[in-house]
Amino acid sequence: MFLFKKNVDKSMLYVGIAIPKHIQSSIEMLYCGGIPKGETKDIQLVVDGLTYDAIITKYNTSVEMMQIHYGAKSAVAVKLRCIFKYTDQQISMNHLIAEEKREYAGIYIENSQLHFECVALDDIENECEHTLTMDEQAIENYYEMKDTTAHYEFKEKVSKFRKVNQDIIENLKQLYDCRCQICGEIVGLECGTKVSQAHHIKYFSKSLNNDSDNIVILCPNHHALIHNQNPIFDRQQKKFIFPNGYVAELKLNKHL
Ligand SMILES: [Zn+2]
Ligand SMILES: [Zn+2]
C-alpha cells in the first residue's frame, strides 16, 4: 500500500522523517495496540530490499505528531546518504536543488513492514531519457498507463520511478473517486468504468514535479481543453483563467 511521497531533505538523511497526519493511523496499525502518546517503539525499515532498525515516536502534544528516527551514524542513515548522494552533496554545499533534480522516496507498507522506494537522480535521469521526445500530454499518458505487459527485467529496471509516480496519481484519483475537479463528473460510469486523468499544473516535462500539489484530476474533455488553451492556474483562488477571460473554478478540491 502506497502511503506518501517524501522529498529528500537534510532531516531524512541525518535524523528521520515526520509522518503526515493522514497516514499515521495506517502506520500505527502495523504495531499491535497502536502507539500510545508519548511512547516510542522499535521498528524496522526496508530500504531498497535491506532491513534496518529505527524507532518511531508518537509525541505527547495536542497536535498529532509522529516521527521515525534514526541517528546520523545509523546504518539506515548511511545507506540513505549513499543512495541520495546528489542531494547530500548539494545540501552540504548549501546549494539549492533544481526542481527536476529533486530526489524522493515513496513510503509503502508491504508485508506488514515500512518500505522506502528510493528514486535517486540516476533513476530520474534514466527514466527521462524515454520521454525526451514526447510532448506533455504524451508524457502524462505514459505515466498513467499501467504497463502489465512489460517483461520482468524491464519492470525492475524502470519501475521505481514509474511505480512511485503512478501510485501518487492513483491515490489522488481515489481521493476524488475519479471525478473531474472542474465539472465534478465521473466519465464512463454507464459503461462500467471510470475515466479520469492527472494534469500537471507546472508541466511535468519541464518540472518533473509529480507532487500531489502540482496535480489536478480532470475528465478527458477538461484535460484536452486545458492543453488546447493553456490557461493560467490561480493557486490562491483555485481557478483556471483562459486567454479569452473565461474562468473555470475547481468545483472539487481536497488537496490544493
Ligand atoms: Zn470535467
Ligand atoms: Zn495535462
Distance CA 28, CA 57 (A): 11
The answer to whether residue 255 is domain-embedded is no
The ligand that comes nearest to the alpha carbon of residue 182 is: 1
Ligand 1 (single-atom ion) residues, CB below 5 Å: 180, 182-183, 219, 222
The stretches in the chain having pLDDT less than 70 are: 146-158
Distance from the CA of 220 to the center of ligand 1, in angstroms?
Answer: 7
The secondary structure of residue 119, as a DSSP letter, is E
* Cα 22 → chain centroid: 14
Give residue-wise pLDDT tens across range 153-209.
444 555 788 889 999 999 999 999 999 999 999 999 999 999 999 999 999 988 889
- pLDDT value for 153: 47
The answer to whether residue 254 is domain-embedded is no
Domain co-membership, 144 together with 65: no
Q: Which of 119, 153, 170 delimits the end of a domain? A: 119
Distance CA 67, CA 57 (A): 5
Distance from the CA of 143 to the center of ligand 2, in angstroms?
Answer: 11
How many Cβ atoms are within 10 Å of 6's Cβ, its own excluded?
Answer: 18
Q: Which of 55, 87, 119 delimits the end of a domain? A: 119
Distance CA 213, CA 216 (A): 8
CB within 8 A of 205, min separation 6: which ones? 131, 134, 135, 136, 139
Domain co-membership, 90 together with 142: no
Q: Which of 96, 119, 142 delimits the end of a domain? A: 119
Domain co-membership, 150 together with 215: yes
Distance from the CA of 181 to the center of ligand 1, in angstroms?
Answer: 7
Distance CA 201, CA 139 (A): 14
What total number of domains does the chain contain? 2
Distance CA 6, CA 105 (A): 5
**Of 125, 117, 130, 129, the residue nearest 156 (C-alpha):** 117
Distances (CA, A) of 79 to 29, 49, 71, 85, 144: 27, 12, 12, 10, 31
Distance from the CA of 189 to the center of ligand 2, in angstroms?
Answer: 22
- pLDDT value for 154: 46
Distance from the CA of 55 to the center of ligand 2, in angstroms?
Answer: 40
The ligand that comes nearest to the alpha carbon of residue 220 is: 1
Distance from the CA of 223 to the center of ligand 2, in angstroms?
Answer: 6
pTM exceeds 0.75 for this model: yes
The answer to whether residue 85 is domain-embedded is yes
Which domain range does residue 34 map to? 2-119
Distance from the CA of 223 to the center of ligand 1, in angstroms?
Answer: 7
Distance from the CA of 162 to the center of ligand 1, in angstroms?
Answer: 26
Domain co-membership, 76 together with 114: yes
- pLDDT value for 151: 47
Distance CA 14, CA 138 (A): 38
